[in-house]
Structure 1
Amino acid sequence: MQLKSIKKSCAINFIGALSLVTLSCVAQANEPVDWSGQYAGVALGVVAGKVNPTVEATDGNYFNTNNLSDLKSTFSQDFSDNDVSATFIYGYQWQQENWVYGLETNLFVSNFSSKKGENAHVYENTPTISYGYSERVENKFGISVKPKVGYAFDNMLINFSVGPILSKFKYTFNFNDSNSTTDVSSEYSDSKWALGVTTGLDFNYKLENDYVLYASYMYTYYPDVVDGKSGLNASNFTWTDEFKHDASFSSHTVSVGLVKYF
């Protein structure tokens, strides 16, 4: 009986010691590496942008009043496109146990250009006349400053960020109808700096020598990328009708890259 008790006591002590060793190993494996300090890098990706325009004609002395709603619904249809992008990254982080806080600046560069239009759209209430039009929005670069908060485990770090973003947009609009007696047209072009908001989620995997594999998803929204008016042009005629131009822009960007901590 005493031998069994000794064996049982030894088994319990062995299981306890094994458990402590296992927990110690798990704790050591889950202990995050140091993510504090400065870092910089570059990432390449794909941006999917969407334009949500609101373009309407005023009730002047050229357009048939009954056609105004048709013009607005035609011009105000959403349009989108995709393009490649590059992101230049610089930031600073500080760490408290597994929690990581930071501030990051991103410079975005792309060749985004999205266009829609028609060559011969018949007026709803004036079927003898048709019009052509085109709208284009371009976005080449932008810069953001984002506070970040993340959680680190092992040599991995997941960050969430949100902050303002400033980008340069170019908007172009062209209109022309088939009324040969007046040759009515309208052109409008504008370049504008627009302020928006960006939010993102990024995944970081630290390699040797403080290099980090970086992957991110980013959503941006700009409530006002164009705000202007354009009139009608025609030889020997003075038309009082105008087009009012307004548009918002949103995008989704997925990118991967390499970051260096120093």
Structure 2
Amino acid sequence: MRFHCRTGFGIFCVLALATGAQAQDLTAHDWSGVYLGASIGGVGGSGKVEATTSDGFVGSYFTSPDPEQIAATVAGPLSQWRATGGVFAGYGQQWDNLYLAVEGSANSLSFDGSRSSGAVYLSNPDGQFTHRLSATADWQATVRARLGLAQDRWLGYVTGGAAVTRIKLDATFADDFLGAGAAGHSASDDTVLGFVLGSGGEYALNDRWTARVEYLYADYGKVSTSSVVTNPAFPVFSNDLDTSFRFRTHTISVGLHHRF
């Protein structure tokens, strides 16, 4: 009886240790290594359109209060949501529960929006003006640090770094004052550097494959373009008109990556 009890207890201990080791193998996860993946989601591009000009100088086409009225009329939001897809790669290292990584990403943006505005001149009710700004941005890329806390197969993190995109602006101003009216047109094409902040979470499906969900906010500051407004009826009079657009994006995505 004593032999059977001892034998049964020994078998129980062996099974318990084996089960514990197996459970540990199933839950313990090392997040260190190089990884490569892809993501899909939605991205919202938004910003504020503004226009500035001046008067009160010799040779000015505009008179008071044209500059203030143009600025107030043109100012307004421009936003758009689009589907996005991209790729990302990085290297991470885990120390106990602390995780630190460097990651680069590139995503489609497909932003293509415009804002039109206009009003009757307060300075002269016989004329009215219109303004239109078109803005496009096809892609954005980031280089970021990621700082996270790992718990078994779960990882939560915050992230931040540099973001870059290419923004094209096309601005048009026109009025119908005295015959042909005044007109001005300008365009710009700039690669812009900004900053990006965000957070996310990951779950290890197995030792190599990981799923993630992530939110990123990128701010690219103001981009501007400048035109000269002239009227053929008064060729000696003109004004510079600066149109600006402060651009930022919000990206929500899900992704899958493989760690090597």
1:160 is aligned with what amino acid?
V
Structure-1 separation of matches of 2:174 and 2:182 = 6
- Any conservation in 1 of the 2:226–2:242 contact (CA below 8 Å)? yes
Match of 1:88 in 2: 87
Q: Distance in 1 between matches of 2:186 and 2:209?
A: 48
SS in 2 for 1:170: strand
CA distance in 2, matches of 1:132, 1:72: 12
2:5 paired residue number: none
Separation in structure 2 between the aligned mates of residue 30 and residue 246 of structure 1, nearest angstrom? 55
Contact 1:193–1:225 under 8 Å retained in 2: no
Q: Which residue number corresponds to residue 74 of structure 1?
A: 73
Q: What percentage of aligned pairs have identical amino acids? A: 22
Query: Could you say what secondary structure the match of 1:199 adopts?
Result: strand
Deviation string for 1:70-97 (max 9, x for gaps)? 1011222222111111221010000001
Greater Cα shift, 120-129 or 194-203? 120-129
Q: Give the drift of 1:33.
A: 0.8
**Is contact 2:230-2:238 (8 Å) kept?**
no
Distance of 1:108 and 1:143 partners within structure 2: 6
Whether the aligned pair in 1 keeps the contact of 2:142 and 2:162 (CA below 8 Å) is yes
Aligned to 1:231: 228
- Where does residue 200 of structure 1 map in the other structure? 198
Q: Say whether the 8 Å CA contact 2:100–2:146 is kept in structure 1.
A: yes
Letter in 2 for 1:161: T
- 1: CA distance, partners of 2:199 / 2:26: 21
* Alpha-carbon offset, residue 246 of structure 1: 2.8
The residue that corresponds to 1:107 in the other structure is 106
**SS in structure 2 opposite 1:238?**
strand
**Closer, same or farther: CA 84–180 of 1 in aligned 2, 3 Å:** farther
* CA shift in 2, pair 1:107/1:197, >3 Å: same
Give the paired residue count.
237
Give the one of 218, 221, 228 matched to 2:219: 221
Structure 2 gaps of 5+ residues are: 1-16
Q: Give distance in 1, aligned partners of 2:133 and 2:89.
A: 35
AA at the equivalent of 2:110: N
> Is the 1:46–1:83 contact (alpha carbons within 8 Å) kept by the matching residues of 2?
yes
Matched residue SS, 1:58 = coil
Q: Distance in 2 between matches of 1:67 and 1:232?
A: 13
Tell me if 1:148 matches 2:146. Answer: yes
TM-score with structure 1 length normalisation?
A: 0.83
- Tell me if the contact between 2:61 and 2:230 (Cα under 8 Å) persists in the aligned partners: no
1:58 aligned to 2:54? yes
Deviation at 1:125, TM superposition (A): 3.2
Kept in 2: contact 1:148–1:161 (CA 8 A):
yes
Identify unmatched segments of 5+ residues in structure 1. Answer: 1-20
C-alpha distance in structure 1 between counterparts of 2:223 and 2:130, whole Å: 23
Alpha carbons of structure 1 residues 146 and 99: separation in structure 2 relative to 1, 3 Å: same
What are the Cα deviations for residues 12-57 of structure 1, in whole angstroms up to 9, with x where unaligned? xxxxxxxxx9xx89x9599641111011111111111111233112
Paired letter, 2:227: S
Q: How many angstroms apart in 1 are the aligned matches of 2:80 and 2:121?
A: 27
Letter in 2 for 1:232: V
Matched residue, 2:31: 35
Q: What does the per-residue CA deviation read over 1:169-199, in whole Å, with 9 as the maximum and x for residues that have no partner?
A: 0111111112252421111110001110001
- Counterpart of 2:97, as a letter, is N
- Does the 8 Å contact 2:44/2:249 carry over to 1? yes
Q: Map Cα deviations across residues 186-242 of structure 1 (whole Å, 9 max, x no partner).
A: 11110001110001112111113511112110001112323x421014336133211
> Are the equivalent residues in 1 in contact too, given 2:29–2:207 (CA < 8 A)?
no
CA distance in 2, matches of 1:45, 1:247: 25
What residue number does 1:246 align with?
Answer: 244
CA distance in 2, matches of 1:70, 1:80: 23
